[in-house]
């Protein structure tokens, strides 16, 4: 089994296959139809575009924004290369500085890993959300995973994010009766995860797709953060190996 599933640096992968390639031009869009590396892009009352200036010093990044006050607003890209993966590791960079005074009433989802064979009506085996504290002066990563033990079949925790600048987020999800979801934020030490949810997720299938961008924005988020772009870059997904610090 190959350790690496896909590297989707927003900057160059759409043209060359892997980050760090010598070519220095941004694709016309983040999805394969426009020269990018992602399977598809979903925009309903939102925008997802490639912009110059990568978060890791590369050529380009993806900017995603909710542009209409719609409950169905989406602005994300999707990777369909996984296939019933019983273990799934991924990492990405995010800069949400444009979300001014984002508070607890303004959550928005930024990443999800989904299975085609859900259990208990829960298709997302991993869900990551960002929101702020009550005063809007700090930011939090909401971490959720499918599990058998909770009444909602979703187990969750939180991890603090840096209040400004780029955050690097990594996940490790494993499907089993003794399954888990581990999360690292700005942390390159594999043995020291910032969150570790031990769960029975054996009723669910493996990961079949991943989404990166914005969706599921709350009413308060849509009222306060329309057209405020969140920046994403350097997505990397693997089956086994820890990705660690850039």
Q: Is 14 helix (H, G, I), strand (E, B) or coil?
A: helix
- Domain spans in the chain, listed from the N-terminal domain onward: 42-52+63-238
What pLDDT, in 10s, does the model give residues 158-192? 999 999 999 999 999 999 999 999 999 999 999 99
Of the listed ranges 27-41, 87-101, 113-127, the least confidently predicted one is 27-41
- Residue 8: per-residue pLDDT: 52
- Residue 4: per-residue pLDDT: 53
Which range of 6-10, 21-25, 148-152, 242-246 scores highest in mean pLDDT? It is 148-152
Assign 245 a pLDDT band (cuts: 50, 70, 90).
confident
Any residues with CB less than 8 A from the CB of 220 and at least 6 apart, and which? 103, 105, 106
Is pLDDT at 65 greater than 70 in this prediction?
A: yes
Question: Mean pLDDT score of the chain, rounded to an integer?
Answer: 91
Instruction: Assess contact for 45 and 72: CB atoms under 8 A.
Output: yes
What pLDDT, in 10s, does the model give residues 114-150? 999 999 999 999 999 999 999 999 999 999 999 999 9
DSSP assignment of 176-192 equals STTEEEEEEES---TTS
- Residue 23: per-residue pLDDT: 40
- Residue 25: per-residue pLDDT: 78
Instruction: Assess contact for 55 and 191: CB atoms under 8 A.
Output: no
Share of residues in the chain with pLDDT > 90 (%): 87
Considering just the CA atoms, what is the radius of gyration of the chain in Å? 17
What pLDDT, in 10s, does the model give residues 70-79? 999 999 999 9
Pick the CATH number of 42-52+63-238 from 2.60.120.200, 3.40.630.30, 3.40.30.10, 3.30.70.1520: 2.60.120.200
Is pLDDT at 38 greater than 90 in this prediction?
A: yes
Assign 40 a pLDDT band (cuts: 50, 70, 90).
very high
What pLDDT, in 10s, does the model give residues 201-241? 999 999 999 999 999 999 999 999 999 999 999 999 999 89
Is pLDDT at 13 greater than 90 in this prediction?
A: no
Please say whether the dihedral angle defined by the alpha carbons of residues 138, 143, 209 and 8, taken in this order, is positive or negative. positive
């Amino acid at each position: 089994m190959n350790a690496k599933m896909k590297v989707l640096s927003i900057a160059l992968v759409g043209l060359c296959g892997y980050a760090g390639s010598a070519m220095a031009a941004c694709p016309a869009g983040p999805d394969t139809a426009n020269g990018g590396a992602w399977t598809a892009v979903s925009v309903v009352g939102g925008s997802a575009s490639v912009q110059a200036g990568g978060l890791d010093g590369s050529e380009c990044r993806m900017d995603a924004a909710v542009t209409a006050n719609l409950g169905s607003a989406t602005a994300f890209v999707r990777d369909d290369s996984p296939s019933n993966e019983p273990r799934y590791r991924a990492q990405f960079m995010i800069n949400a500085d444009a979300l001014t005074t984002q508070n607890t009433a303004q959550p928005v989802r930024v990443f999800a890993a989904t299975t085609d064979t859900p259990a208990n009506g829960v298709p997302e085996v991993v869900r990551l959300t960002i929101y702020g504290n009550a005063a809007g002066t700090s930011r939090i990563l909401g971490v959720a995973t499918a599990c058998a033990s909770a009444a909602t079949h979703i187990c969750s925790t939180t991890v603090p994010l840096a209040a400004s600048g780029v955050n690097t987020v990594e996940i490790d999800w494993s499907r089993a009766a003794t399954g888990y979801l581990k999360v690292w934020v700005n942390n390159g030490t594999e043995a020291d995860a910032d969150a570790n949810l031990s769960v029975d997720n054996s009723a669910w299938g493996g990961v079949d797709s991943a989404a990166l961008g914005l969706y599921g924005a709350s009413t308060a988020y849509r009222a306060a953060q329309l057209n405020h772009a969140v920046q994403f870059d350097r997505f990397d997904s693997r089956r086994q190996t820890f990705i660690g610090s850039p």
